[in-house]
A and B are shown apart, each in its own frame.
Chain A
Amino acid sequence: MNIYDAIFYLFAVVTGLSAFFVVTTRNIVYAAFFLLFTFFGVAGIYVLLGADFIAIVQLIIYVGGILILLLFGVMLTNKITSVQIKTGTLQIVPAAVGVGLFAGFLIAVLTYTEWKTVDTALPLTTTEFLGVMLLQEYLVVFELLGILLLIALIGAASIARR
């Protein structure tokens, strides 16, 4: 077992365990903090897979943006004075059936598929390639994403203010 494997197992355990606790903990603020560890673990795995730019973007967007937004949502939708910050579950049995079927399907796909892999490694940094592709072949998608984010910004502001 070399250092690479050890790092992978470390990040995988951090990611999996904190993802599990996000769903099982009853306190919403704790769930948000476990989500932080999940995002950090996924970012570490991105670095391990050679996706440096995506790892940094993950930290900036998810940890710096979406998680803060979620915490604001928690603060704005709970009466701080009352102890309403805990929350329960519902519909365990149908959910268990559905999740069991879905998990079985995923495990079957994972088991019976021969995943194709190629030995050509990625270049050491992919940032330059991503930038060139974004502004050449995928320029329309890039612009559409900009418009989508603008619309989402305006829509969110107008929905939340009313």
Chain B
Amino acid sequence: MHIQIEYYLILSAFMFIVGVVGVLTRRNAIVVFMSIELMLNSANLTMVAFSSYLGNAVGQLFVFFVMAVAAAEAAVGLAIIIALFRNKLTINIDELNILKW
């Protein structure tokens, strides 16, 4: 392998930062969701990279666990978004301020 592990880590850090930007700035709840998926993917990428460069496949097992949790999170989150849309007729997160005092 000629490529150092730093390259994978830089790619994964870039993906994570892009995900953070999306969560902090976008208005639509579904795009925020996509950004969360980006962050989960970058964490998975880091784990697979370390698993490969340390010669230990247990890291891939944890990627499997993260994926299962991500699937559960996506299902429940989208259900919440749909319920919100039914009640408020919007999913712009700046208009969903009923918890704000």
Contact = CB atoms under 8 A, between A and B. Distances in A.
Given A62-B41, A69-B74, A45 B8 contact: yes
Contacts of A10: none
Contacts, number: 221
A15 B60 contact: no
B84 to A, nearest CB: 8
A117 interface: yes
Interface in B55-85: 55-58, 60-61, 63-65, 67-76, 78-83, 85
A22 B18 contact: yes
Interface size class of A (residues with CB under 8 A): 35 or more
B24 A95 contact: yes
B54 interface: yes
A157 B22 contact: no
A58 B44 CA distance: 10
Contacts of B80: 159
Interface SS of chain B: helix, strand, loop or mixed?
helix
Nearest to A42: B41
Nearest to A153: B75
Interface string A34-55: 0100110010011001110110
B82 A92 contact: no
Interface of A: 2, 4-5, 8, 12, 15-16, 19-20, 22-23, 28, 31-32, 35, 38-39, 42, 45-46, 49-51, 53-54, 57-58, 61-62, 65-66, 69-70, 72-74, 76-77, 87-92, 94-95, 98-99, 102-103, 106-107, 110, 115-123, 126, 129-130, 133-134, 138, 141, 145, 148-149, 151-153, 155-157, 159-160, 162
